[in-house]
């Protein structure tokens, strides 16, 4: 009998994706076309945003958002030190400087005091990252941005369908970018989406993503009104996305349930803390993250031996070659990076599976010394 496994994540796709993909293939038009438009419209309506623009990735979405706001060489953009490197790389692509900012240990998001310290006369924007689908205090962040005349572009790569202040993440700033890479709530293989309520930004995004053409052209006698590039989505991706969207609400409910189960089961576990998601207010985790005060790697190995796959947190960006900088300003991000991991969160897991993994975590926590007994089975 095959051993039971508890994947950290696994994309869920099947017959409906195949059906819609066949329709695109039969249409003879695999480019950015009617399926893409439908996908954009459905997501804009779901998120309550005026405009949605599908692009090749969230990285491209952040880059194009910055470009649309005229951010480039000589400018600085505040980026949390704990995020996937794409956030900073999108800034670097524009020629601007990504200024890394420490995070706070409660929600792993950008820290306000550190942000204030990082401000300079060149600071033009902030990219808050909604780590695991959890927003920083957005009311405070938007007020801070207004006070210092900064644009807010949300990195909502991990936050599709998660809410704060009664709104979907990604719709609170001037623009927000989502990712549909395979480890996300819905996937199109690769792909991203930008949402905005600004007609002007929307217009710029359309031109930037398609060689300066406000509307998709023929490639022949088109008018290119501005400088643009090729970051177009395809209807093949949109077919996948439309099929996945049909089950989005179900997926979100399941992820919230995963969190509630872990939270209940780990309530008395003194070694592992789950950062809060206010699910009653609509917050939804993309993956369930956990902070392990002592011996995170021991827990990781212990779970691995029981076929429960976790993913360790990113290294702080300031320790990565393109962004090397002194440790002194990043005490919290160093701590969070060393002590955090994502627990098995796959949509394929059922409630009983989550309770089983939580039982492993509790068993590990009861070992006399988690550090020395980590390998024991």
Ligand X SMILES: Cc1ncc(COP(=O)(O)O)c(C=O)c1O
Q: Which residues are part of the catalytic machinery? A: 184
Residues 345, 288 contacting (CB under 8 angstroms): yes
Least distance between ligand X and beta carbon 87 (Å): 5
Q: Does 11 bind ligand X (CB under 6 A)?
A: no
Q: Does 289 bind ligand X (CB under 6 A)?
A: no
Residues 6 or more apart whose CB falls under 8 angstroms from that of 207 comprise 213, 214, 225, 226, 228
Q: Which of 21, 129, 336, 354 binds ligand X (CB under 6 A)?
A: 129
Q: Does 340 bind ligand X (CB under 6 A)?
A: no
Nearer to ligand X, 86 or 96 (CB): 86
Least distance between ligand X and beta carbon 3 (Å): 29
Residues 340, 313 contacting (CB under 8 angstroms): yes
Nearer to ligand X, 194 or 358 (CB): 194
In angstroms, the CA 208 to CA 62 distance is 12
Least distance between ligand X and beta carbon 114 (Å): 18
Q: Does 181 bind ligand X (CB under 6 A)?
A: yes
Footprint of ligand X on 48-67 (CB under 6 A)? 57-59
Q: Is 183 exposed, middle or buried (0-12, 13-18, 19+ CB in 10 A)?
A: middle
Q: Looking at 30-38, 152-160, 164-172, 302-310, which segment touches ligand X (CB under 6 A)?
A: 152-160
Q: Looking at 7-15, 33-41, 84-92, 258-266, which segment touches ligand X (CB under 6 A)?
A: 84-92
Least distance between ligand X and beta carbon 83 (Å): 5
Q: Which of 32, 75, 76, 155 binds ligand X (CB under 6 A)?
A: 155
Residue 375 dihedral angles phi and psi, to the nearest 5°:
-85, -10
How many binding residues for ligand X (CB under 6 A)?
Answer: 14
Nearer to ligand X, 98 or 358 (CB): 98
CA angle, residues 360, 105, 253, in degrees to nearest 5:
55
Q: Does 101 bind ligand X (CB under 6 A)?
A: no
Least distance between ligand X and beta carbon 184 (Å): 7
Residues 133, 169 contacting (CB under 8 angstroms): yes
H-run or E-run covering 300 = helix 296-304
**Angle formed by the axes of helices 351-366 and 248-265, to 10°?**
30
Name the nearest CA neighbour of 197 among 172, 224, 167, 166. 172
**Length of the chain in residues, anyone?**
377
Name the nearest CA neighbour of 90 among 199, 231, 211, 187. 231
Q: Does 158 bind ligand X (CB under 6 A)?
A: yes
Nearer to ligand X, 55 or 374 (CB): 55
Footprint of ligand X on 186-225 (CB under 6 A)? 192
Residues at the site binding ligand X, with contacts judged by CB under 6 A: 57-59, 83-84, 86-87, 129, 155, 157-158, 179, 181, 192
């Amino acid at each position: 009998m095959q051993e039971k496994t508890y994947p950290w994540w696994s994309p869920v796709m099947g017959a409906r994706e195949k059906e819609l993909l066949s329709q695109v293939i039969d249409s003879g038009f695999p480019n950015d076309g009617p399926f893409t438009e439908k996908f954009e419209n459905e997501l804009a309506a779901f998120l309550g945003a005026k405009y949605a623009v599908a692009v090749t990735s969230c990285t491209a979405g952040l880059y194009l958002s910055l470009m649309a706001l005229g951010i480039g060489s000589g400018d600085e953009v505040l980026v949390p030190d704990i995020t996937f490197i794409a956030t900073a790389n999108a800034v670097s692509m524009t020629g601007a400087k990504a200024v890394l900012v420490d995070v706070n240990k409660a929600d792993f998001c950008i820290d306000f005091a550190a942000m204030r310290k990082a401000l300079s006369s060149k600071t033009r924007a902030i990219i808050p990252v909604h780590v695991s689908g959890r927003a920083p205090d957005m009311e405070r962040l938007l007020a801070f941005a207004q006070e210092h005349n900064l644009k807010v572009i949300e990195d909502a790569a991990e936050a599709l369908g998660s809410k704060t202040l009664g709104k979907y993440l990604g719709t609170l700033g001037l623009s927000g970018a989502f990712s549909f890479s395979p480890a996300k709530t819905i996937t199109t293989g690769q792909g991203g989406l930008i949402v905005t309520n600004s007609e002007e930004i929307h217009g710029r995004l359309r031109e930037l993503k398609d060689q300066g053409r406000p509307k998709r052209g023929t490639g022949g006698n088109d008018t290119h009104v501005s400088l643009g590039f090729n970051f177009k989505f395809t209807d093949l991706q949109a077919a996948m996305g439309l099929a996945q969207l049909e089950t989005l609400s179900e997926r979100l409910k399941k992820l919230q349930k995963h969190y509630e189960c872990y939270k209940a089961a780990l309530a008395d576990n003194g070694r592992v803390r789950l950062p809060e998601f206010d699910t009653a207010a609509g917050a939804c985790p993309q993956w369930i993250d956990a902070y392990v005060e002592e011996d995170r790697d021991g827990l990781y190995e212990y779970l691995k031996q029981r076929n429960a796959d976790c993913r360790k947190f990113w290294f702080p960006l300031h320790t990565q070659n393109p962004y090397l900088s002194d440790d002194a300003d990043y005490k919290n991000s160093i701590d969070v990076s060393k002590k955090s991991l994502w627990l098995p969160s796959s949509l394929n897991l059922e409630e009983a599976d989550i309770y089983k993994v939580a039982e492993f975590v509790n068993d590990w926590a009861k070992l006399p010394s988690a550090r020395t007994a980590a390998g024991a089975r």
